Structure 1
Amino acid sequence: MAVTAESGVVEGARRGQIIDSAIQLIAEQGLARTSLSRIAEKAGISKAAVLYHFKNKDELLDEVLARVLGGLVTQVGARVDAAETPRDAVFAYLRAMIGHLTANPDHVRVITEAMAIAELAGHNAVRADPSRWKALADLLAAAQSAGQMREFDTKTVALVIGGAIDGLVGQWIAETDFDLTAAAAELETFIRRATDVR
């Protein structure tokens, strides 16, 4: 029984190593140029070992995205849950989202690459996926219900905020000296003023 548990730990560690290597390569050279052979080389293992854990590149990429998006959701969710008021939760979401993405630039590149590939393949629904804005829209609605924000269309404002976050992080990736911290603070001030109860 101990051997099985130990081998499970080793296999889990190896899968993690492969996923980490894939994330790094996608960030460095793009998804199209990231092959299973290159991932294996980066991980210091054989391609056969990669195929032992993942039946093909698509399955591996699904796991890569699950890791990247799962980390983001966990981090943002923890910050939102710790907020004292519904209004505070909106700004905790904003700060956590930008904070997590800037702390994990490789993850931003993976998400960007995955969206670009999906759009090229005709899956434009990736950007329009309601889960991208619904959680924030629900936070905005809770703040409205608590009388902490004025009335507005929560879906529209969630899309605007999400687009602003995407834009700021994208600019930071493209322009290394872009002051994302100051830009995020400016965005927060803008949103506070735009949503204040009048």
Structure 2
Amino acid sequence: MASHKSREPTLTEQARRAQLIDVTTRVIAEHGYAGASLSRIAGAAGITKAAVLYHFRSKDAVVRAAYEHALADLVDHVGGAVEAAGVEEAPAAYVRSMVEYLRDHPHHTRVVVEALSDDGGERHPRERWGPLADLMRAARRARGLRTDLDLRTAALVVGGGIDAIIAEHLDHPDYDPVAAAELLVSMLHRVLLSEHG
């Protein structure tokens, strides 16, 4: 069983791993981390637990792969939107694209939320607020505004707003996260990117 780990996976193995990541994402979204047993993942994929373990050494490994896949897709989406927006509008693009992605990918959202609440403190807080604070600093600099504000707290507040919007949408699907994101962007522009900020 260990010999296949030292070589490049075949196309069939790559496809099976991708399928298992997809299935695991769905299982976590529907049953939470605790309910995402190897048996449930294997059953949803239509294979045996041994077949899952052929591709991933443990439940934690396949769950970690699902989380990393969801996070990578989110980062790619938000990064593309931020880059397309330009420096001055990057913070607004960050908020809009984050909410848009999480609204459109509820299974990925559940995986990310589950992983963040069950990570045992592995993620450093700056990984969450740092990129947005950097975007705010660059936007203020591009507008010729002061950059010595407490952008850490500003990013935490905006990030918390994003989290709250998504949580509300997950709990109440009729809640409009796009309208909420626009309100958050409006507040961001008025307070954080104004001459007096």
TM over 0.5: yes
Q: Which residue in 1 is equivalent to 2:183? A: 186
Considering Cα pairs closer than 8 Å and 6+ residues apart, tell me whether 1 or 2 has the greater RCO: 2
Q: Which residue in 2 is equivalent to 1:37? A: 39
- The aligned length equals 188
**Aligned ranges 1:44-123 → 2 under 5 Å:** 44-84=46-86, 86-118=87-119, 123=120
* Percent of pairs with identical residues: 41
- Gaps in structure 2 of 5+ consecutive residues: 1-8
Is the 8 Å Cα contact of residues 87 and 148 (structure 1) preserved in structure 2? no
Does residue 197 of structure 1 match 2:180?
Answer: no
Q: Deviations over 1:55-78 (max 9, x none)?
A: 111111111111011001111111
**C-alpha distance in 2, partners of 1:116/1:175?**
20
Shift of 1:115: 2.2
Is the 8 Å Cα contact of residues 79 and 92 (structure 1) preserved in structure 2? yes
**C-alpha distance in 2, partners of 1:176/1:89?**
27
Is the 8 Å Cα contact of residues 38 and 49 (structure 2) preserved in structure 1? yes
Counterpart AA for 2:141: S
Scaled by the length of structure 2, what TM-score is found? 0.89
**C-alpha distance in 2, partners of 1:143/1:14?**
43
Does residue 166 of structure 1 match 2:163?
Answer: yes
**C-alpha distance in 2, partners of 1:189/1:9?**
47
Shift of 1:190: 1.2
> Which structure has the highest helix share of the two?
1
Find the residue that maps to 2:10 and give its secondary structure: helix
Find the residue that maps to 2:175 and give its secondary structure: coil
Scaled by the length of structure 1, what TM-score is found? 0.89
**C-alpha distance in 2, partners of 1:68/1:75?**
11
The 4+ residue runs of structure 1 with deviation greater than 4 A are 148-151
Q: Which residue in 1 is equivalent to 2:142? A: 146
Find the residue that maps to 1:13 and give its secondary structure: helix
Find the residue that maps to 1:50 and give its secondary structure: helix
Is the 8 Å Cα contact of residues 88 and 143 (structure 2) preserved in structure 1? no
Counterpart AA for 2:104: A
Counterpart AA for 1:169: I
Q: Deviations over 1:21-51 (max 9, x none)?
A: 0100110011101111110110111111101
91, 114, 134: which one aligns with 2:130 = 134
- Gaps in structure 1 of 5+ consecutive residues: 1-6
**C-alpha distance in 1, partners of 2:91/2:144?**
11
Find the residue that maps to 1:165 and give its secondary structure: helix
Shift of 1:148: 5.4
Q: Deviations over 1:108-152 (max 9, x none)?
A: 11112122223xxxx3464x5211111111111111212255542
